[in-house]
Amino acid sequence: MFKINPRSINFARSFSQSLRLRQVQEIESVDQYRKLIANEGLTFIDFYATWCGPCKAIEPIINKLSEKVPEISFARVDVDQQTEIAKINGISAMPTLILYKDGGPLDGVIGADIKKIMEKLSLHSGKEVKL
């Protein structure tokens, strides 16, 4: 009979919790959005749509960048689900990526231009960002 080792369960739980901390956060409300951008430091938000091909293409790259630049908080907003947040930011093209500091927009990139995204992250984080 197969027995479950309790130590492996604890390890699996702690491992999955640590993975969740490194993921790009999905913003699901205006309040959550406002709290996130009001934090000290930099916040990078990817405004995307599920039907957008370039958005799907850069998603894994944004995930990798979030691991490489832990000094910056990374998040995503589905513009079709969070229309009010999209309106607040004047989003008219996807993907639009905005870097926030102290509650307001600091810089951004419209389109899936990975080179420009890395340049902006490098400029504002003070650290060379590469994939």
Q: Where are the domains of the chain?
A: 6-125
Tens digits of residue pLDDT in 75-106: 999 999 999 999 999 999 999 999 999 899 99
Q: Is 106 exposed, middle or buried (0-12, 13-18, 19+ CB in 10 A)?
A: middle
Which pLDDT tens digit goes with each residue over 103-128?
999 999 999 999 999 999 999 989 89
In angstroms, the CA 22 to CA 19 distance is 5
pTM of the model: 0.81
Task: Determine whether 44 is an active site residue.
Answer: no
113 phi/psi in degrees, rounded to 5? -90, 95
Residue of 52, 85, 98, 121 marked active site = 52
The second-level CATH assignment, the architecture, of 6-125 is 3-Layer(aba) Sandwich (3.40)
Catalytic residue among 55, 65, 77, 121: 55
For range 15-21, the mean pLDDT:
40
What DSSP string runs through the chain? -----HHHHHHHHHHHHHHHHHSPEEP-SHHHHHHHHHSSSEEEEEEE-TT-HHHHHHHHHHHHHHHH-TTEEEEEEETTT-HHHHHHTT--SSSEEEEEETTEEEEEEESS-HHHHHHHHHHHHTS----
Q: Is 52 a catalytic residue?
A: yes
**Span 25-61, pLDDT tens digits:** 999 999 999 999 998 889 999 999 999 999 999 999 9
Decide: 47 and 77 in contact? Cβ < 8 Å: yes
pLDDT at residue 6, rounded to an integer: 42
